[in-house]
Structures are given as C-alpha cells and as structure tokens.
C-alpha cells in the first residue's frame, strides 16, 4: 500500500471513529493527535481509543479538534510505518497540539522522544507493556512513576496472578505447568516478558513453559507439542503477529485463533476479552475500555489546570472475567454456581 492510499484510509477511520465521540475535526491545528499502534478496529486498541474520547467528552471537552493515525504495525512494512511516523512528527512540530495520545507500545516507542522536545505538548499513553524503565533509560521522563517531563499515562497490567488463581479454581487442583505460545515479533516478546515478570515472587513463577512461534508452521508444531504434553494444564496464546510462508504475509490473532483452537484441546487463557471472542476459553484480563478511560481522565485533569508532575503513571486498575461458553463446553469444563457468579461476561 502506498502512502497516499494509507493516508486516505486514515482519513476514513478518523471520520468513523472520532466524530461519533463528539470531537470536532478542523482544517487548522488540532488540539489532540491520537496515534494507535494497530489498525482502526483492532481488538486491543479500538476500545482504548473510544474510551479516551469518551472520558474527554464526559469531562466537558466536546469542542476540541482531533486527528487520528493508525500505524497498523502488525501488517504494514517498516518503511510505510516510518513514513507515517515522520508525518506525525511533522504534524506535532507544525501544529503544537495540546495532547498526543498513544495507544500501545509501538506508537509510544516511535514518538515519545519527539514529544519530549515540545514541553507545551503533553503525551498521555495507554496500554504500555514494555517495562517503563526501558523507555526511561533511553530518554528520561520519569522518577519512578512520577513524571519529570511532559509524559504520563496508564501501564497495562495483565492480572497474571489473578488469572492463575482462577485457573486453579476451574481445574479444582494446583496448576502444574502453563505454556506461553508467543510470536517472535517485538510485541510477542514484550508480552512474554511481562507475563514472566508479573508472576515473579508468586507460587506460579516456575510453572511457565515457553514456546516461540517463528512462523505459522512452527506455531502449529508447538501447538501439537503443548497438546501432547500431559504436564501442561493450559496455555496462553500470545501469537500477536506470525509470518505465514504460504503467502508471505503475516497472520494476526483473528486468523490464528481458529488454528490453535483446532490443535490444542486445553484451556486457552486469553490476554483480553476480545481474544475470548475469537474462541479462546478466556479468564481474567485487563479491561481495555476502562484502561483507555483512565488515560482520558488524566487528560481532563490536565485540561482543567492540573500539573503533570502531580499525575503519576498508573497501572490499569480494572480487570474483567470473560468466559467463552462454547469453548468451555468443547473442553468439557463445568463450573459450580459460585465460580459462575464471578464471571463478568459470557461470550457465545
């Protein structure tokens, strides 16, 4: 896809997503630039995008002008992404927006150093998974979790300890081993490392078995190994973007989920309820909408005169228990009424 057609898609996505939230678009400088790491309807990013706008609207800021960019980094090649990022940087330099919102790691990683050069523009992030210390070492903006520059936001906590505790309730026994099947792209590694990090110091820290997926055939081979290993009670699909040599294109979770469900007859612990909707069993996960709303609420406090140094980086506070009924039946799992009562969302 060339840059022109990509930009036309961005304009279309902007009309579809921004206008219903009550923010006015404008031909002159925008108050807000929103940059999502993935495509406009991405299951992880879109709820955060919508919620941030809802928070601003509920805060009374309905007359702000906005522009949205969707980097689609799971599919677009590096050259196209780099062109779009350079366009965003030029936009920031020329228009000096009040805010830049970034959704997920890719957008933040490509833009936070640029925003640090523009102190009057505030960057509010949502959905970061990579350790904040890694970003801070490259370009300092935090003292622990207190902003020392013009950046704050919401870190995506995965609720892994809670996920494993629920798994033991469902299994009615102690967890033996859980496989992590992860793609070897940047976000796959980041999420795999975060899962390990969240379980450190818990009784589950030594229960993980790691399976990298270099490509689709490698992923399916690992899936068969996971299914055959009697010591593995469940697995976490973290196959965010996996190349398929059959057509030299990358497959993302909506395309990969049916393949994994077919191969593995064990509980699939989903990272979010959107993945549960793809057919995985589910469990405890971050509430993407509420995480995005947290970041939008931070922006409203800044718009009302708050000082960014007083608005510390927060963890996502809300989790959701989502279970896929069809998958539960396929796996022969039965939940007692008490366990069923803690489920927030039943899918299918």
Same domain, 174 and 149: no
Same domain, 11 and 138: yes
The DSSP code for 89 is H
8 vs 247 pLDDT, higher one: 247
Query: Over 80: is that where the pLDDT of 14 sits?
Result: no
Provide mean pLDDT across the span 5-23: 40
Same domain, 138 and 166: no
- Contact yes or no for 271/236 (Cβ under 8 A): yes
User: φ, ψ for residue 212 (rounded to 5)?
Assistant: -75, 150
Same domain, 19 and 142: yes
Provide mean pLDDT across the span 301-317: 94
3-state secondary structure at position 282? strand
Give the H/E segment covering residue 238: strand 232-238
Q: Which residues does 134 contact at the CB level (< 8 Å), separation at least 6?
A: none
Mean pLDDT for the chain overall: 90
Same domain, 25 and 139: yes
Same domain, 12 and 127: yes
d(CA 139, CA 133): 10
Same domain, 151 and 197: no
- Contact yes or no for 190/156 (Cβ under 8 A): no
CATH number at residue 149: 3.40.50.2300
Report if residue 13 sits inside a domain.
yes
- Contact yes or no for 204/158 (Cβ under 8 A): no
3-state secondary structure at position 210? strand
- Contact yes or no for 135/112 (Cβ under 8 A): yes
Report if residue 329 sits inside a domain.
no
Query: Tens digit of pLDDT for each residue in 82-135?
Result: 999 999 999 999 999 999 999 999 999 999 999 999 999 999 999 999 999 999
d(CA 68, CA 12): 10
113 vs 11 pLDDT, higher one: 113
Same domain, 151 and 299: yes
The total of structural domains in the chain comes to 2
CA angle 217, 36, 259 (to 5 degrees): 20
d(CA 146, CA 309): 6
**Local confidence band at 4 (pLDDT 50, 70, 90 cut-offs):** very low
128 vs 2 pLDDT, higher one: 128
Percent of the chain residues past pLDDT 90, beyond the cut: 81
Report if residue 228 sits inside a domain.
yes
Same domain, 48 and 132: yes
Query: Over 50: is that where the pLDDT of 15 sits?
Result: no
Q: Say what the pLDDT of residue 61 is.
A: 85
pTM over 0.85: no
Same domain, 122 and 95: yes
Report if residue 328 sits inside a domain.
no
Query: Tens digit of pLDDT for each residue in 159-203?
Result: 999 999 999 999 999 999 999 999 999 999 999 999 999 999 999
Measured in Å, how far apart are the chain's first and last C-alpha atoms? Answer: 36
Among 2-16, 256-270, 303-317, name the one with the lowest average pLDDT.
2-16
For the chain, the maximum distance between any two Cα atoms, rounded to a whole number of angstroms, is: 62
Same domain, 180 and 90: no
Could you give the C-alpha distances from 198 to 181, 312, 322, in angstroms and in order? 17, 20, 20
Report if residue 279 sits inside a domain.
no
d(CA 281, CA 267): 6
Domain that holds residue 13: 3-157+288-319
Same domain, 56 and 189: no
45 vs 194 pLDDT, higher one: 194
């Amino acid at each position: 896809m060339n840059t022109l057609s990509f930009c036309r898609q961005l304009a279309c996505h902007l009309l579809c997503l921004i206008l219903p939230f009550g923010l006015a678009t404008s031909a002159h400088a925008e108050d807000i630039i929103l940059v999502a790491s993935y495509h406009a309807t991405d299951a992880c990013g879109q709820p955060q995008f919508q919620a941030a706008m809802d928070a601003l609207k509920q805060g009374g800021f309905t007359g702000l002008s906005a522009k949205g960019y969707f980097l689609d980094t799971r599919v677009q090649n590096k050259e196209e992404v780099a062109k779009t990022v350079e366009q965003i940087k030029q936009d920031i330099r020329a228009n000096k927006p009040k805010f830049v919102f970034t959704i997920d790691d890719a957008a933040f990683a490509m833009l936070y150093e640029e925003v640090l050069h523009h102190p009057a523009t505030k960057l509010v992030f949502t959905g970061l998974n990579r350790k904040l210390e890694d970003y801070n070492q490259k370009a300092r903006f935090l003292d622990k979790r207190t902003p020392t520059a013009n950046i704050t936001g919401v870190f995506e906590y995965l609720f892994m300890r809670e996920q494993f505790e629920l798994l033991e309730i469902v299994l009615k026994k102690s967890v033996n081993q859980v496989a992590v099947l992860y793609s070897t792209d940047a976000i796959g590694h980041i999420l795999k490392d975060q899962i390990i990090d969240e379980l450190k110091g818990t009784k589950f820290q030594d229960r993980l078995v790691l399976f990298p997926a270099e490509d689709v055939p490698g992923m399916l081979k690992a899936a068969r190994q996971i299914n055959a290993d009697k010591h593995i009670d469940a697995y976490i699909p973290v196959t965010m973007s996996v190349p398929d040599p059959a057509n030299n294109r990358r497959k993302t979770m909506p395309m990969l989920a049916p393949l994994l469900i077919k191969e593995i007859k064990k509980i699939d612990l989903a990272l979010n309820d959107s993945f549960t909707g793809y057919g995985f069993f589910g469990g405890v996960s971050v509430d993407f909408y509420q995480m995005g709303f947290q970041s939008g609420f931070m922006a409203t406090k800044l718009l009302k005169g708050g000082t960014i140094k007083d608005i510390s980086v927060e963890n996502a506070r809300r989790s959701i228990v989502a279970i896929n009924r069809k998958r539960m039946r396929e796996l022969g799992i039965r939940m007692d009424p008490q366990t069923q009562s803690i489920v927030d969302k039943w899918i299918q």
